[in-house]
Amino acid sequence: MLTEDQKKSEEGTKLLEVSIENMRIGTRRYARRQNKMIRGRFLGHPSREVPTIYELDTTDLTKWNEEVKNKAIQIIDSYITGQTCCFEPLKSNITEEKKLIDGNSRNYCDVCNRLILGDKTYEIHLQSYKHKKVLKKKMDQKNTIEQKDSSTVEN
């Protein structure tokens, strides 16, 4: 958007360098978000059946053919031919504990008188401020009733 004279000036050059650096930062952030999404959506979900996922290093463009293109071709060829791939796929980050969590289970909280679906959601509920507040309130009520009962028994 600068004129030719502005582009050739020192200010135009600095503006271009800053713009390029901002573009690089934005691209790195976008790549990190994509990696996080892939790992969370495909590798971190216990009940999801996904194909094998491979990671290719695209950071150095001078090594593009060796690190990306040739590896991708070998991975695709091994998939098509049904042979074992020579590259290591990404490992799933699902623990045995996560595999045992049932997302469809029904849990009833006697303290809050609520039905909660899913084991993970129930765990979160038990640690929540609202649950602890209701629990404390019921414990206080129970203690006052016991104190009243014990004072009437003494009289």
* 120 and 76 within one domain: no
pLDDT at 27: 92
Give the C-alpha separation, 47 to 91, whole Å: 15
- By residue range, what is the domain housing residue 121? 102-154
Q: Are 82 and 106 part of one and the same domain?
A: no
The pLDDT of residue 128 is 93
* Residue 2 near residue 16 (C-beta atoms within 8 A): no
Same domain for 28 and 57?
Answer: no
pLDDT for the residue numbered 72: 93
Q: Is the same domain home to 41 and 71? A: no
pLDDT for the residue numbered 7:
75
Give me 137's structure tokens.
């309130």
Let me know whether 13 and 44 are in one domain: yes
User: Which residues of the chain register pLDDT less than 70?
Assistant: 45-48, 93-103, 152-155
**Strand partners of residue 109:** 114
Residue 99: the pLDDT is 61
What is the H or E stretch that residue 151 is in? helix 129-154
Q: Are residues 80 and 107 in the same domain?
A: no
Indicate whether 2 and 46 sit together in one domain: yes
111 and 150 in a single domain? The answer is yes
Contact 138, 111 (CB under 8 A): yes
Domains contained in the chain, number: 3
Say which CATH number the domain at 121 has: 3.30.160
| Radius of gyration, CA atoms only, the chain | 30
Q: Is the same domain home to 88 and 74?
A: yes
Structural tokens at position 123: 């765990």
**Residue 41 and residue 15 in one domain:** yes
- Asked whether residue 39 falls in the same domain as residue 60, the answer is no
138 in the same domain as 106: yes
